[in-house]
Chain A
Amino acid sequence: DVKVTQSSRYLVKRTGEKVFLECVQDMDHENMFWYRQDPGLGLRLIYFSYDVKMKEKGDIPEGYSVSREKKERFSLILESASTNQTSMYLCASSSYLGGAEQYFGPGTRLTVT
């Protein structure tokens, strides 16, 4: 059974704090993704990675960075959290780019106050 796990389901942080969101997959997938989901905007891609230590910007990378030191782990970093980063964050993985379904984690609801 495929599994993508995220370190926290709910997180509350203060403006200006550095925030780490962790994602781990156990499917030996090459590709991992970070999305945010906001009402009326659907899922928007923040960053993705197709290999260890590789990363590509998605549609909304501003204010975020990522780290992929191991194949199974992909971290999203908010260097200085702001209230407009309050959102649902979803991690996903897939076995190859383009033509494969993505498996999603349960999401992290982040609130920045």
Chain B
Amino acid sequence: DQQVKQNSPSLSVQEGRISILNCDYTNSMFDYFLWYKKYPAEGPTFLISISSIKDKNEDGRFTVFLNKSAKHLSLHIVPSQPGDSAVYFCAASANTGNQFYFGTGTSLTVIP
């Protein structure tokens, strides 16, 4: 049973506009969330994280929002650039647990 879900397999956005990638989770014990970016033929690379004590974390063009009551997080990329075209995975863990649970990924295409 998928505990972390990314319901949009793909997303296309015009360069310069905002990209919003969504992620839902079912386990209320999750308290740490990460976003990874993956280019073809490469391993995922860490992008940004958020702890459940926060509802927002910002790093340059990337912002992650966490809505604990809705068990939902989103990644905003502003402005989107062609180099952002990649597959984005969200992942979640519980501090008392022993593994990360990954979503199925969203393929972002930024159109020049």
Contact = CB atoms under 8 A, between A and B. Distances in A.
A106 B46 contact: no
Contacts of A106: 41-43
Interface string B78-106: 00000000000101011111111011110
A107 B42 contact: yes
A20 B13 CA distance: 41
Contact of B102 (A40, A42, A101, A107): A42
Nearest to B90: A42
B45 interface: yes
B43 to A, nearest CB: 3
Contact of B89 (A42, A45, A97, A99): A42
B32 interface: yes
Chain B at the A interface: mostly helix, strand, loop or mixed? loop
Q: Interface size bucket, B side?
A: 20 to 34
A90 interface: yes
A103 interface: yes
A105 B43 contact: yes
Nearest to A102: B100
A98 B43 contact: no
Contacts of B99: 33, 45, 48, 58
Contacts of A41: 104
B73 interface: no
Interface of B: 2, 4, 6, 9, 32, 34, 36, 41-46, 49, 51, 89, 91, 93-100, 102-105
Interface of A: 4, 9, 33, 35, 40-45, 48, 50, 56, 58, 90, 92, 97-99, 101-107
